[in-house]
Amino acid sequence: MQVLHTSDWHAGRTTYNRSRAIDLDDALTEIISIARDVRPDAIINSGDLIDHSKVSHTEIERVVDALAELGAIAPTIVVAGNHDNFSQMRYLDRLGRVNRLYFVNKPVGISGDHLVIPGRDGNTLRVGALPFVSAERGVDIFDDPRQWAGDYRARIADLQARITAGLTATLDPTRELTVFAAHLHVTGAGLSGSERARHCSDDYACDPAAIPPVDYAAFGHIHDPQDLPGAVPGRYAGSPIPLDFGEAGQQKSITLVTLEPGKPTRCEPIALRGGRSLIRFDGSLTDLQSQAALIGDALCLATVHTDTHDPALSQRVHEILERATVLDVQQRVAGTRGGSLVVEPGTVTAQRPLLDSFSTYLQQIDTRTAPADQVMALMAEFLAADHEDRDPCFAVETLLTDDHTTEAAAT
């Protein structure tokens, strides 16, 4: 049997505020065309279909179109990642099953509930799956929430052991093959720096020895395509495009897996174009001129060294790189101290000074439509949410969703 494994599409992703939709479109077109050529028995997407909870409907529509095309080629299984909207997965699953699309937002395979995919060669695939389990929200997944005390590694190992037991019960190894699909960070995997930092910390690192001993383990979460650490045959399929500069230069791919009872699994990465490249240029204007053709239509961060201050530098860079998307231009004047005026994401460590500066700024400009303390509270929540890598949460939002008829009647 053959399985095509892709992952981490991150629809709705932006890089330096620029949409990556055309890059993802290109990659999805390529993935669909590979799937048409290969005609696999199953397709697995191991999570992070969308980048965040507020992705536009247009971007979700693109993802749905691509999945519908894949579903027409072979049954397609999507396992929820840490960036996905778990509730959305629930209703997508109901609609999707009509079109051979399975959206998994809770562990599958513990109690004989694995997915069964018949192969054209007469063999059958049993698929167990483990979506991303957040340390905060995963509580209801475990038998006894009172035992959930933060030992993530042990809990995930236990879940994987139970999925293994379920998957291998009554298995006929002469005609049945097993696949385990998951969105997890396994200790020893090579990070790109563009994965959501909080969900790739040691708190979230799982034991490679705990991966179920299946014929193929289809993993998502890490963006650089690579073999799984440990002894089980498996891959991180990786993201189909470089999502950020941490992934610049990585050869993106999709993995074609060939499975045959009693034989070792064959994993073959098929290279993807990967959309436009991400390039950091560092040199003089003359260097830039000579490299312009090479930079082409890339998304480019340019650091340009000049002898004297050039106020029109940014314009010159844009003219030289007319096909590229110039994200940022930094000028380094000879003899002056280099230093970035731009605050790079992740470099702000102390939030307090930023809030203090904002307070000073507010005092200077004053507020018109809301009291200053309310504006400060909103800003504090924005900064805290950014620092903790979560969506901001405002008490006032509950007014939009809660039932306030009683209060309304009273006033």
Judged by CB, which is closer to Mn ion: 8, or 59?
Answer: 8
Q: Which stretch binds Mn ion (CB under 5 A): 45-53, 260-268, 280-288, 307-315?
A: 45-53
Contact segment (CB under 5 A) with Mn ion among 44-52, 70-78, 249-257, 330-338 equals: 44-52
Burial of 353 (0-12, 13-18, 19+ CB in 10 A): exposed
Report in angstroms how near the CB of residue 195 gets to Mn ion at its nearest.
Answer: 6
Q: Please, what is the minimum distance in Å from the beta carbon of residue 16 to Mn ion?
A: 18
SS3 of 210-265: HCCCCCEEEEECCCCCEECCCCCCEEECCCCCCCCHHHCCCCCEEEEEECCCCCCC
- Segment interacting with Mn ion (CB under 5 A) among 40-48, 66-74, 103-111, 348-356: 40-48
> What is the rounded distance in angstroms from the CA atom of residue 101 to the CA atom of residue 111?
21
DSSP state of 147: G
Minimum Å gap between C-beta 8 and Mn ion is 4
224 in contact with Mn ion (CB under 5 A): no
Question: Residues 1, 5, 6, 8: which binds Mn ion (CB under 5 A)?
Answer: 8
41 lines the binding site for Mn ion (CB under 5 A): no
Nearer CB in complex with Mn ion: 43/288: 43
Whole-number minimum distance, CB 187 to Mn ion, in Å?
17
Q: Which stretch binds Mn ion (CB under 5 A): 46-54, 104-112, 114-122, 340-348?
A: 46-54
Which among 41-49, 87-95, 132-140, 342-350 is the span making contact with Mn ion, rule CB under 5 A?
Answer: 41-49
Within 296-371, where are the H helices? 313-320, 351-365
Cβ-proximal residue to Mn ion, closest one = 48
Residues 183-202 that bind Mn ion (CB under 5 A): none
Minimum CB distance to Mn ion, residue 373 (Å): 38
What residues does 50 pair with on adjacent strands? 11
Q: Which is nearer to Mn ion, 8 or 69 (CB)?
A: 8
Strand partners, 205: 185
**Is 48 near Mn ion (CB under 5 A)?**
yes
Total interface residues for Mn ion by CB under 5 A? 2
The nearer residue to Mn ion, 9 or 152, going by C-beta atoms, is: 9
Determine the Cα–Cα distance for residues 252 and 67; give it in Å rounded to an integer.
Answer: 19
Distances (CA, A) of 135 to 104, 140, 160, 271, 275: 18, 11, 16, 34, 34
Measured from the CB atom, the residue of 8 and 176 that comes closer to Mn ion is: 8
> Shortest approach of Mn ion to residue 219 CB, angstroms?
11
Name the minimum Å distance from CB 246 to Mn ion.
12
Give me the helix-helix angle, 372-387 and 351-365, nearest 10°: 150
Specify the 3-state DSSP secondary structure of 411. Answer: coil
The least CB distance from residue 79 to Mn ion, in Å, is 12
- The upper half-sphere exposure of residue 194, i.e. CA atoms within 13 Å in the direction of its Cβ, equals 23
Residue 38 neighbours by CB distance under 10 Å: 18
Please identify, using beta-carbon distances, which residue of 48 and 224 lies nearer to Mn ion: 48
Strands laid side by side in the 278-283 sheet = 278-283, 299-306, 325-333
Summarize the chain as % helix, strand, coil (round to 5).
Answer: 35, 20, 40
- Angle at which helix 313-320 crosses helix 285-295, to 10 degrees, equals 30
State the nearest-atom distance from the C-beta of 248 to Mn ion, in Å. 16
Residues of the shown chain interacting with Mn ion in the complex, contacts defined by CB under 5 A: 8, 48
